[in-house]
Amino acid sequence: MAMTNRELFLRHQAQTSPSPIALEIVKAEGCRIWDISGKEYIDLIGGISVCNTGHRHPKVVEAIKQQADQYLHLMVYGELMQSPQFEYAHYLSSHLPASLDTVYFTNSGTEATEGAMKLAKRITGRTEMVAFKYSYHGSTQGALSVMGDEYWRNSFRPLLPGIVHEDYGRMEALDSITGNTAMVIAETVQAEKGVYLAAKDWMQALRRKCTETGALLVLDEIQAGFGRTGSLWAFEQYDIVPDVLLLGKSLGGGMPLGAFIASHQMMQTLTDSPVLGHITTFGGHPVSCAAGLASMKVLLEERLTESVNRKSALFVSLLKHHRILSVRASGLLIAVEFSSFEENKKIIDACIDRGVFTDWFLFASDCMRIAPPLTISDEDIINSCNVILECCDLAVD
């Protein structure tokens, strides 16, 4: 007897958890997704901060089609001039501080972390690194080494030596940054902790300490970038500039793409001693770059960032219930805190059953994640919040 689609998914596709959501989605558009039965959902996840301009924006789809008609993969990254790559790199750098003018495209945010770690060692000649507890920078071995939670690291040891994990936002943590530190890696918003922000004076002190010691400051905006927090780049809110910026998720407009960005002088160190100091076959795939460029132009031309804080405030104003302990928001990156993972999961499952798609955070399983496309309408915000509150009423202790 032939296997069902669910059986094929569970048997032959490697799983990441014992209990995946396992909805079979057949269509997505704007802020909506549809499953195989035709059921419609308001998408409050946006692919985990990927679909900032919505699912399948017409201009993004058209850019993908046009590039697919020209060529797909040609050659290992960086050897041939491919217009989607250098045009997107130029567009990105034109909307960043002058010192962030050279882009190395990767396949994912995790790979961007790996590239930044190599770059920091190459620039400084040092090997020690400072990271922060409850940070998330990816799951490959180097990125896992700077991830800030022992539960996720422990089963894969030994990892990279010389990495110190400090408390995010604590002034005393900066004492670990010394003349032996190659880089400090920090999120501008600790997303997976459940949307935690550091104070502005701490971020500025972090910038000063890195400058004083010669350590590179690497800021991870893989989730927080592209208008998600109410400004194009979250670091702008702290009045600082990193030495290296990590991007991913929304960077590709729905296609797989990551990047680490630094000065031209720094990036040139990867071209010799050894030559091909960092290399990737598919990084910066031309279709992904074409999609990402189109999506970023939509973001800026439609001025989507300008409504983010207003929409965020609408969510926060509506999400009031005795089961909700707190609501933490940085633009349209929002954590809704409940008393436990069990309560949160019941409410999430009830929301999905009623047509609102949401999830939880990696290091904050008691918090519901809200990170919708920035194009979400006020009507969808109101309707989704009403469903969440109804599901809070349905949750049984």
Give tens-digit pLDDT for 193-243.
999 999 999 999 999 999 999 999 999 999 999 999 999 999 999 999 999
Fold category of 5-53+303-394 in CATH: Aspartate Aminotransferase, domain 1 (3.90.1150)
Burial call 354-384: b when 16+ CB within 10 Å, e when fewer: bebbbbbbbbbebbbbbbbbbbbeeebbeeb
Is pLDDT at 394 greater than 70 in this prediction? yes
Q: pLDDT per residue over 329-382, tens digit each?
A: 999 999 999 999 999 999 999 999 999 999 999 999 999 999 999 999 999 999
Structural domain boundaries in the chain: 5-53+303-394, 58-301
Strands 258-262 and 102-106: antiparallel
Fold category of 58-301 in CATH: Aspartate Aminotransferase; domain 2 (3.40.640)
The pTM (predicted TM-score) of the whole model is: 0.96
Q: What's the pLDDT at 152?
A: 83
Q: What's the pLDDT at 396?
A: 64
Q: How far apart are CA 328 and CA 190, in angstroms?
A: 11
Is pLDDT at 39 greater than 90 in this prediction? yes
Token pair recorded at residue 169: 């936002």
CB-CB contact of 348 with 368 (8 Å)? yes
Report H helices in 131-278: 141-146, 150-153, 200-213, 264-267
Q: How far apart are CA 377 and CA 310, in angstroms?
A: 11
pLDDT band (50, 70, 90) for residue 171:
very high
pLDDT band (50, 70, 90) for residue 165:
very high
Q: What's the pLDDT at 333?
A: 98
Q: What's the pLDDT at 65?
A: 98
Nearest CA among 296, 265, 252, 257 for reference residue 96 = 296
Is pLDDT at 176 greater than 90 in this prediction? yes
92 membership: H or E segment, kind and range: helix 83-93
* 203-to-174, 197, 301, 323, 351 alpha-carbon distances in Å: 10, 10, 30, 33, 37
Token pair recorded at residue 141: 């071995």
**What percent of the chain is predicted at pLDDT more than 70?**
99
Cis, peptide link before residue 158, omega less than 30° from 0: yes
Q: What's the pLDDT at 297?
A: 98
